[in-house]
A and B are shown apart, each in its own frame.
Chain A
Amino acid sequence: MDPIVVGLGWAIALPIVAWAVHRLRQNLDERVVPFMAILAAGIFVAQMLNFPVAMGTTGHLIGATLAVALLGLYGGIVVMTTILTIQCLVFGDGGLTALGLNLLNMAVVAPLVAYGLLRLTRKGLNRWNGLGVPLAAWASVLAAALSCGAQLALSYTLSGGSYGIEPLLSLPAMGIYHAIIGIGEALITSGVVLFLSRVAPETLEFGIRAEEAKA
């Protein structure tokens, strides 16, 4: 990635994360942090479970939609930020300069898209529409991938080929591959939400109630 793009990524992602932290803090009781942390750990572990895609390849969950569905927008952003930071700081995954862009793609773009679509397709007060969850999951993966592809393309163009990947290659490659991966994310996310709504509906209401308390 071109240094300018990396800088831009940090410059966009940090204020949004800070804003989410700020909003979350406004009605924070001491229960919330351990509760969100255990969910973040759950998503972290769920990301390690591979699902089959085709011809022996596998994909894995990002979990942004799941985090938003369970915790609301601010909680979702903070949970994804925590997961990405731990992957970077503890397991040395991806490198530090990539963290800014990873945050932008997976902790900002993906939760925002997921939240928007969940919000649009919601019916009633405490019910997610059956179609909304898979749609939001699929679209959030695609949006994160396209955002990443655009960053690679911008890096390539800005640096004249020292960084990034050529636009003609990066955008379609990221888009098509993740449109397929996104189906897996959609299947698993809606499976998890369905499962939870059947066996423990009270867990799903946490995020919705938290959002409504703020609104």
Chain B
Amino acid sequence: MELNADRFAKDSWLSAFDPRVKLLCFLSLAVVIALLTGTEVLLLALAFVLSLAAVSRVPPSHLARGYAMAFPFIAAASLALLFTSGTGNALNMGLRVSASVLLLLVLVSSTPFMDVLWALRWFKLPSVLSDMIMFTYRFIFVILDESGRMRLARSSRGFRGGRSLLDGEAFKVLSNTIGMIFLRSYRRADRVYLALLSRGYDGRVRSLGGHRLRFRDAGMGLAFLIIGALALTQQMGWYVWW
């Protein structure tokens, strides 16, 4: 499974913007989208998100893969409404969830992870949480490597995965595998901690660099503000544009 979320972040046109402005814009738009209930206005939001995806230069196949992973949930939510409260509501639900999932996908695949963290720290997220997120993100790839090697060893010994909850053998193997993942992580955590200490770690994370607000960030803020205001005022029935 490919997990390196930073692959396209560096060459995206959107990565030139200040991560604080970007985070704020995208997250506010996500909130606005969650409030919309009209089909036309949801289509407008979806169109805006798709045009963001187009200018972001993130390969569409990458976004499509992320969307495909979320699709079963979108379909389930819409289908449940289709049978209980009509086609219109089901269609709107599908549009709304699609727009917000794609919006977040564009955000995360066009922003380097460290920039997101930097912005979160700037917004005064408690350091316990931001440091946890940073370390955990790094360790996930380490442990994935580890579990990949264990999977290889397991399947080369003929493990097949089992068929149901009654398959005691499969569960024994799986829980021992997870236990082993933890055990190796514990051991590795000791070494990681010593490595951190020898680099001067004292419980605080410091980073060089940062970002300055530029003119183009104001442009992005303005564009999101206009779209958000258009959608919200239409939603509240202040005017009809067709």
Interface string of A65-82 (1 = CB under 8 A from B): 000001000000011011
Chain B min CB distance to A101 (Å): 12
Partner of A92, one of B101, B131, B178: B101
Checking B84, B144, B179 against A166 with a beta-carbon cut-off of 8 angstroms, the contacting residue is B84
Residues A88 and B175 in contact in the complex (CB < 8 Å), given A37-B136, A41-B185: no
Given contacts A54-B165, A78-B128, contact A42 B85 (CB under 8 A): no
Contacts of B100 in A (CB 8 A): 95-97
Task: Given A28-B203, A93-B69, answer yes or no on A162-B104 (Cβ-Cβ < 8 Å).
Answer: no
Residues from chain B with Cβ under 8 Å of A95 in the complex: 30, 70, 97, 100-101, 104
A188 CB contact (under 8 Å) in B86, B171, B188: B171
Contact A39/B182 with A51-B171, A90-B137, A162-B89 known, Cβ cut-off 8 Å: yes
- B91-119 residues at the A interface, CB under 8 angstroms: 92-93, 97, 100-101, 104-105, 107-109, 113, 116
Q: Is the CB of B182 within 8 A of A49?
A: no
- Within 1-35 of A, Cβ neighbours of B (below 8 Å) are at 1, 3, 6, 18, 21, 24-25, 28-31, 33-35
> A: which residues have CB within 8 A of B?
1, 3, 6, 18, 21, 24-25, 28-31, 33-42, 44-46, 48-56, 61, 70, 78-79, 81-83, 85-86, 88-97, 156, 161-163, 165-166, 169-170, 180, 183-184, 187-192, 194-196, 199-200, 203
Q: Are A82 and B1 also in contact (CB < 8 A) when A21-B128, A188-B174 are?
A: no
A77 to B70, CA, bound (A): 25
Nearest Cβ on chain A to B22's Cβ, whole angstroms: 12
| Interface secondary structure of B, over-half rule | helix
B213: Cβ under 8 A from any A Cβ: no
Query: Is the pair B175, A195 in contact by a Cβ cutoff of 8 Å?
Result: yes
Instruction: For B86, list chain A residues within 8 Å (CB).
Output: 161
Binding site for A on B (CB under 8 A): 1, 3, 5, 27, 30-31, 34-35, 37, 66, 69-70, 73, 77, 80-81, 84-86, 89, 92-93, 97, 100-101, 104-105, 107-109, 113, 116, 126, 128-129, 131-140, 142-144, 147, 161-165, 167, 170-172, 174-183, 185-186, 188-189, 192-193, 196, 201-203
| B93 proximity list for chain A (CB < 8 A) | 162-163
Asked if B131 contacts A33 (CB within 8 A), the reply is yes
Cβ contact of B196, chosen from A34, A82, A195, cutoff 8 A: A34
Q: A52 and B165 in contact (CB under 8 A), knowing A91-B5, A203-B182? A: yes
Further 14 A-B residue pairs, CB within 8 A, beyond A82-B136, A95-B30: A33-B128, A37-B131, A38-B136, A41-B140, A48-B147, A49-B174, A50-B161, A51-B170, A52-B164, A52-B167, A90-B108, A90-B113, A93-B70, A162-B85
